[in-house]
A and B are shown apart, each in its own frame.
Chain A
C-alpha cells in the first residue's frame, strides 16, 4: 500500500505546548512539503525539503520547525511560538521539486490548540 501517511488524524493540545506531526512516504520521493489549510484560504507552504538533510522555509515558517533525517520522513513541530496553531495540516511529496512534478498529498492532521 503505497502513499503518504500522516498521524494522528486529530490532535488536541494545550496552549504553550509543542507538538510534532508525523509524515511518512513510501513513494521514494526526494521532495516533501508541509502546508497549512485554514477555512476560506488557499493552502500555504510552511516548509519544504528537496533532499535528505536539507530543508527551506516556506511562506509561513515562523513558529514551526522540521527535520529531514530520512528520505521517507518529514516531521513538523508546531512550537509554542506559533500564534494561531489551530488548523488542518497537510504533508505532500513529489519525485523531485521540479515545476511539473505531481505533488501527492497525505490525509492531513487536524490540530486544535486550546
Chain B
C-alpha cells in the first residue's frame, strides 16, 4: 500500500532555532516529492518539489533533501520565525501514465515560540 509517514507528529521550538522534519514513503512507482506548508484553516502552499535525480532543493530558509534509495526526505528550517508555525505536509506523486495521483502524509505541526 502506498503510504507517506511523517515524524515527529508535532514539534515546538524557540524562535531563531533550526529544525528538521522527516518523511518516509513507500509510494511506487515514484514520480516526485513535494513539501507543502499549511497555515491553520487555510489551504496548503507548495514549498519545494523534487524529482528522483534531485538530492536537495532550497526555498529561502527551507531546504528539502531526498534520498530515493532509502525513500526518505527531510525538510530543514533555518533560523525559524514565528510565521513558520504551521503544518508541514510531505506529498509523494505516484508515477502514472495518465493523471497525477498524490499521496499525502498527515503532516508535522510546528509551533515556533518567542
A interface, CB within 8 angstroms of B = 4, 31, 40-45, 48, 50, 56, 88, 90, 92, 94, 97-108, 110
Chain B 63-79 interface mask (CB, 8 Å, partner A; 1/0): 00000000000000000
Instruction: Find the A residue at minimum CB distance from B6.
Output: A42
In contact, A42 and B106 (Cβ under 8 angstroms): yes
In the complex the two chains form, what is the Cα distance from A81 to B27 in whole Å?
31
For chains A and B in complex, what number of residue pairs have CB atoms within 8 angstroms? Answer: 61
Given A42-B104, A101-B100, check contact A107 B46 (CB 8 Å): no
**Residue B21 is within 8 A (CB to CB) of chain A in the complex:** no
B4, B43, B89, B106 pick with most chain A CB within 10 angstroms: B43
In the complex the two chains form, what is the Cα distance from A99 to B93 in whole Å?
7
In the complex the two chains form, what is the Cα distance from A107 to B42 in whole Å?
5
B interface, CB within 8 angstroms of A = 4, 9, 31-32, 41-46, 49, 51, 89, 93-96, 98-107
> In the assembled complex, which residues on chain A have CB atoms less than 8 Å from the CB atom of B95?
99
In the complex the two chains form, what is the Cα distance from A81 to B51 in whole Å?
40
In the complex the two chains form, what is the Cα distance from A105 to B44 in whole Å?
6
In contact, A40 and B100 (Cβ under 8 angstroms): no
Instruction: Find the B residue at minimum CB distance from A31.
Output: B100
